[in-house]
A and B are shown apart, each in its own frame.
Chain A
Amino acid sequence: MKKIVILVTLLSNLYLINAQENGSFYGGLESNSQWLQTDKGLNFVAPEDQFRANNYVLMNYNLGKFTAGAQYESYLPSGLLGYSPIYDNQNDIATYYFNYKDENLDVTAGYFYEQFGSGLILRSWEDRQLGLNNAIKGLNIKFNATKDLSLKAVFGKQRYGFEESAGTIQGIDADLSLSGALNIESVDIQLGASYVGRYQDTNGNEALPTTVGAYGGRLDFIIDNFYAGVEAIVKDPDVIVNEEQISSNKLYDGTALQVNAGYAKKGLGINATFRRLENFSFYSDRFAEGNIYNQQVVNYVPGLTKQQDYLLTNLYVYNPQPRLIIESFDQRSGEVGTQFDLFYSFKKGTSLGGKYGTKLAMNFSYWGGLDAEYNIENRWYKAKFIGKGHQLFRDFNLEIKKKWSKNWSSVLTYQNVIVDKAIVEGGPLGKKSILANIGVIEATRRFDNGKAARFVVQHLWSEDDRKNWAAGVVEYNFSTRLALYVADNYNYGGVDKIHYYSVGGSYSKGNTRLGINYGRQRGGLICIGGVCRFVPSNTGLSANLTVAF
């Protein structure tokens, strides 16, 4: 605590002598608060702390090659609903750092964010909407050895709430531009290699490995309009931990393989990805495996599906399944699947293009569990490379954007989605699935002086789960600063015909933005006044304020 006081005093003193030097002070404030209300229609009972807020203040000072900063966070009286309870009733300086950076060397001491390759082996980052901040507290060194070779090294413990993880992370990464080094012009080839290890005290249990390492390699190349890449990672054997208990003393290794390829030229873009994960979860504390709050995760394993834009297209989404579990009530060993994207622009003047052109985006993704045999008594399993495992998620969607005139434009979206019920509700995979078809029409009308109106009509057809839904949004921009909206998400096909209504607005000027909403929020992505945020499910009044300085 004393150290922080000294740091903050130093920062403010440095700021005062700013006029003579060439330094700059910058940062920001973000405050997200909610006042929850009991809602009988939604079966929602407001918790004891009805008013909740997550507040962040970030301050940085930069002088030449040196930068220092600190982030203060407060979760008083409790953090927002749905965030990890370790934050409740706390407030403190959460992260601080000291950095030196020149053309070849970049060193940070304190809390830092880093990523190796795609992040599949190591990624520490902050996402306030997710309540995720797995910054590493220690030392980060980045060094450009030559113009083609860059090296990175990390060492430290991960942040866990206002404390640190039980395990210590160490890692090195090398990135080489092979075409640059060998002076090849026609093809661009990049090679990478990483090692990340977690050291954790085993408390005398000799069956557990003290250091678990992951070793990865990646290759990317670009030839004219065509590009492709592959990344493969192998993880040392470790025990399975399920709900903070070690399943057995048996050790299992893990693998990850990701292949990506695409073609892009003006007017057309195609991209395809294949990924297979087997027992691939990596935490800085082995007992944190599988926690629902995204805490202490060492790497980044996102669901490779399209991020949908509307209320109803965000109903059935996919959560990736990299874990290995061998229990009588649940057997799973990983996932395998693919995602495909196509983007195309019909040129202006053609019959399908019209006067202003038409843009088309098509996406398909398929994810399934690994096809494996399990022997529960012996805690043994064997998985095929692809095989025919349970279908967990399949999504086909199409989006057509068209500008009709100077004042009118529209977006037409269609989605056909199948998701395994356990992905949505939890439980063992492969029992039942939900099939839904969704259609959305959005139209925008522009007026003068930055005024505009936006209308969205959506419908979801399904014979499973909560059956049919209908939704609509009307948003009006009084100027480029002020916007108001009214929305309703109506589950008319469900047993309780619930209306998830909401009303709100936003005001933004320069460095400040304020958003206020009231109503029932069904969790998902909501865009208001030109900005998109992820909103967790709740009933009540919420306010979001951001100021950048």
Chain B
Amino acid sequence: MKKLIFIFCLSLFSLNAMAQNDLPSVDLTSIDGKTIVLKDATNKDGITIISLWATWCVPCLKELDAINDIYDEWQEETNVELLAVSVDDSRTVKRVKSMVNGKGWDYTVLLDTNNDLKRALNASSIPLTILVKDNKIVYKHSGYSPGAELELYEKIKEFSK
């Protein structure tokens, strides 16, 4: 019984910790080299999807390609915005601009070359996709499998109400 109470308290504790999840105050760089304050870049009236990706991460590219195909529909229905934050370090960051254009993505792309945001979100692996509302993190999902973008959209609609 004591163990149950302990586990119950622990889960309340972690739920509590989760509920107070503010978006970390980190500075990123735009694809043109300007410093961007993350909190200023998020959507003011709607959900923001922040997706951590890299040019060498195959599932990240699959996820962003899949969302790109239906992005306009999503934006029309819910006014959602996607910030694609690249964690490419200086080895591969020069390929970001050409890859993003070569793929024809419509997202705002930000660079996290020294992995400050990746560290602040404690993301040990990518892709990591989070939903942000009023600069608070309301949903997190790590990894991508085909069809995950549809589940993500269900969550977006849920939080958009």
Contacts and interface: CB of A to CB of B under 8 A. Distances in A.
Interface of A: 18, 23-28, 30, 58, 60, 62, 101, 113-115, 118-120, 123, 125-126, 128, 150, 177, 188, 190, 220, 222, 227, 260, 262-271, 273, 300, 302-304, 306-307, 309, 341-345, 356-357, 359-361, 401, 444, 446-452, 477, 479-480, 483, 506, 508, 510-511, 513, 525, 527, 529-533, 546, 548-549
A343 B142 contact: no
Nearest to B63: A530
B113 to A, nearest CB: 7
Contacts of B32: 188, 222
B150 interface: yes
Interface majority SS (helix, strand, loop, mixed), chain A: strand
Contact of A267 (B24, B102, B123, B124): B102
Contacts of A265: 101
Contacts of B150: 450
Interface residues of B, number: 58
Given A220-B33, A269-B97, A302-B91, A361 B151 contact: no
Contacts of A120: 90
A35 B28 CA distance: 39
A1 B116 CA distance: 27
B124 A28 contact: yes
A222 B33 contact: yes
Nearest to A347: B104
Contacts of B18: 511, 549
24 contacts: A24-B22, A26-B24, A113-B116, A119-B114, A125-B114, A150-B35, A264-B102, A269-B102, A271-B95, A273-B94, A300-B89, A300-B90, A343-B98, A343-B101, A343-B102, A357-B104, A359-B65, A359-B103, A444-B146, A447-B147, A452-B146, A477-B145, A532-B58, A548-B140
A529 B141 CA distance: 12
A29 to B, nearest CB: 8
B108 to A, nearest CB: 14
B102 A532 contact: no
Contacts of A273: 94
B147 A450 contact: yes
A529 B126 CA distance: 11
B153 interface: no
A477 B84 CA distance: 25
Interface in B1-59: 14, 17-18, 20-22, 24-25, 32-35, 55-59
A128 B124 contact: yes
Given A359-B65, A446-B146, A532 B126 contact: yes
Interface of B: 14, 17-18, 20-22, 24-25, 32-35, 55-59, 65, 69, 89-95, 97-104, 113-116, 119-127, 140-148, 150-151
A268 B147 CA distance: 27
Contacts of B21: 24, 26
A276 B57 CA distance: 27
A299 B115 CA distance: 16
A284 to B, nearest CB: 18
A260 to B, nearest CB: 5
Nearest to B123: A548
Contact of B98 (A23, A262, A506): A262
B90 A267 contact: no
Contacts of A446: 146-147
A113 B89 CA distance: 13
Given A269-B101, A269-B102, A359-B102, A123 B91 contact: no
Nearest to A220: B33
Contacts of A177: 33-34
Contacts of A269: 97-102
Contacts of B145: 450, 452, 477, 479-480, 483, 529-530
B101 A480 contact: no
Contacts of A533: 125
A25 B123 CA distance: 16
B122 A227 contact: no
Nearest to A511: B140
A62 B123 CA distance: 18
A525 B143 CA distance: 15
Contacts of A529: 143, 145
A118 B141 CA distance: 30
Contact of B125 (A126, A222, A511, A546): A546
Contact of A341 (B58, B93, B98, B126): B98
